[in-house]
Structures are given as structure tokens and as C-alpha cells.
Chain A
Amino acid sequence: MTRYECLQILAPLVTNHLIVTSQSGQRIEWGHLSEHGGNLLLGEMGAAAGVAAGLALALPNRPVVALESDGSTLLSLSILATVANLGIRNLAVFVFDNAMYSGTRISEPTATAGKTDLETVARGAGIEHSVTVRDVESFKKQAVLAMRGTTLCFIVCKVEESLIHREIHRPAVDLVENKYRFVRYLEATEGRVAPFIGRG
């Protein structure tokens, strides 16, 4: 199972979801598969789950999805305890765990290549629906459940390393431009203007 295969399954399930991506490979693949207005493309590790949690708290009737990786999750483990205790129900975190830092170009192993099990870490942090999937069929089943946006979900997707994102054209939209598209999408669909918009 590759991350791209999982994202191909996830993309048609998106309706009014807000999708927050993590670092580059994933951002490029998701940007290639989905032009959804509710995509917030972050370009860094260790931030997607936190930003997604803030969105979920601000918009409790909106399903929010964070697309994370093993390295990114390991960088900000405290967010698991934070979201577990905030009573958030409309958040799903997908962790595409290839057990390595692919961005290093020498595929250095992450802690999940060793003794660390993120499903167990998340459950210990208090996220009850914490599961690991290892094949496409299991992913589909969990994805459909998670995309309902009614239960805090943490889904570790064990994927093989794939460098397909290096063959995909990078998005022409930069992060700030994407942010404005995202808040304009929310303005149109929620009737709520971000506090920093306008006043020109």
C-alpha cells in the first residue's frame, strides 16, 4: 500500500471537509489529486494536527482531516494528549507511516522503524479510536468511518516508501495564496469572515 493509493481513495470521499496537509511529498500528492477549496496545504512537519484541531474547535459542525506522517507526528507528540482531552469529535488524523524520513533522500529510519508504535502512543494519550491499517481494503473501511466526522479518529496507515511526488508537478499556488483561497472558501460556505480579512 502506498500513500498515493490511500489518497486516491480519500479524495472522492471529500464533501465539505477541511483538509490540512503536512510536509511536501504529501502536500504535492494531495494537491495533485484534489482541488477542493477546503484544502489547507501546510509545508512543514509537526503542525498539521494542531492546526486541524484549531479548525475543528472553531467549526465544530465541520469535519476536519489532518494528513500527517510518522516523522511529523513524532515531532509533535504532545498534540495527541492535547486533542484527546479537548473533547474534539470532528477530527480525523491519518498518519502515513513509511517508517522513514523520505525527505532526507537517504531514507533514514524514524522511531516507528524501531520500537515505537504510534497507534499505542495515541491510545495511551487518550484517543480511543486509534487503529493501524496495512492494506487498501482496511484503509477504505477506516476512511469511510473517519470521514463522517463524528468521532475523533487516529489512523496509522502503514505504507511503503514511494517517491511518486517527485514525478508530480509541484503546485503553482504558494502557501499564503492557498491560505487566502481556504479562508475565502470558508467565507462562502460558512458565511463567516476571518477576522484579518478586509479592512483595506
Chain B
Amino acid sequence: MEAQLASRIVAGLGEAGIDFMSYLPESRLSQILPLMRKDPRFKLAPTASEADAVSIAVGATLGGRQAACYMESTGIYVSCYQLVVVALHLHVPVLLLVSHLGGFDDQRNSFLYSLPGRRLLPQLRALDIEHRVLENGVNLETNIKDAVRTMNALREPVALIFTGDFTI
């Protein structure tokens, strides 16, 4: 991902009011992490599992933070239980920032990633989690703001799926 896109994601998250992010690092969007670490607007919580990341983000939201949760596509499978029994069950908004590793537009796709990548969007539909796929930086900041507004209105997690230019 170009450095400019990483900067725009971080700036967009800050402008949208995100002030907390739990995460398990991955390879496509990882440039956002050093930028967020330097930015006093964000509190970061590295985790050992995407399941931990979701439950921690839920707790942070209930504690008054506007939380995001960053992971790669396989993290949705790992955290599926927490998404259902905590975030969806209790109606708690969390912004899921998901790199579409293994997706159709993943510029670094390979046989290693393609199978789990292919099942990401059907999995989100099965979970009834609203999501939007972003292929490039067009309207990036607006999409982030829209996602935050939507998740607060729904009181549910909403996902932004990053593919295409974000996976270079």
C-alpha cells in the first residue's frame, strides 16, 4: 500500500472519531500501525488473537471509546464467535477494518490465501454484518465516516474491506 493511502486511512479514522483500536497485525495494511502509534488521538491494543481483539473493542466501546478492530480476512473466522455472542448479541458498534487477503482484487494473492479470501464476503453476509469493499482511495475518508455513522445507528459492528490498491 502506498504511504499516502496509509496516512489517509489514519487521518480518516481520526476525523471519524475513532480513538481506540485493537488489532492483530497482518501484511496488507500494516503501515497504519506506526502512524497510529505516533498519533495521540489513538489508544492501541495489540492482541494475540482476533477473538481477543473483538471482545476488547466491545469493552472499550461500552467504556465510552469509539473503537475499531483491525485484522486480515481470516481474522473474521477466528473472531466469529465473539462477533456473534458479544458484539451482535449485545448490539455494540465496532468498526472492523479488514484487509481482503486472498480476495479477487488482492494484488498479492496466491494459493495460500485464495480459499479463505473467497469465503470472507459470504461469511460477513451470513453474520448479517454491514460491509463495504474499498478498492482504492476514492472517497476513502467519506467511506470511513459513513461506516462509523452506520455502526452507531445500527448498534452493531460494520466492516470496511480493503482490497485492490490497498493490497499492493
B51 touches A58 (CB 8 A): no
Q: A54-B22, A79-B52, A82-B48 are in contact. Are A190 and B57 (CB under 8 A)?
A: no
Interface size on A, residues (CB 8 A): 38
Q: Which residues of A lie under 8 Å from residue B92 when comparing CB positions?
A: 179, 196
A175 touches B90 (CB 8 A): yes
**Within the assembled complex, what's the spacing in Å between the Cα atoms of A52 and B52?**
11
Q: A47-B55, A54-B57, A195-B93 are in contact. Are A59 and B64 (CB under 8 A)?
A: yes
Q: Which residues of B lie under 8 Å from residue A51 when comparing CB positions?
A: 55-56, 58-59, 62, 86
Q: Which residues of B lie under 8 Å from residue A57 when comparing CB positions?
A: 20, 43, 45, 56, 59-60, 63
**Pick the contact of B82 from A47, A56, A179 — CB < 8 Å?**
A47
Q: Which of A47, A49, A79 has the most CB of B within 10 A?
A: A47
**Within the assembled complex, what's the spacing in Å between the Cα atoms of A86 and B61?**
17
Closest to B52 in A: A82
A195 touches B90 (CB 8 A): no
**Within the assembled complex, what's the spacing in Å between the Cα atoms of A82 and B45?**
9
Whole-angstrom distance between the Cβ of B107 and the nearest chain A Cβ: 30
Interface size on B, residues (CB 8 A): 38
Interface of A toward B, CB cutoff 8 Å: 20, 40, 42-44, 46-47, 49-59, 76, 78-79, 81-82, 85-86, 175-176, 179, 182-183, 186, 190, 192-196, 199
19 other A-B residue contacts (CB within 8 Å) besides A50-B54, A50-B56, A54-B57: A42-B85, A50-B58, A51-B56, A51-B86, A53-B56, A54-B55, A54-B58, A55-B63, A57-B43, A58-B20, A59-B63, A78-B48, A78-B52, A79-B51, A82-B46, A82-B52, A179-B92, A194-B62, A199-B152
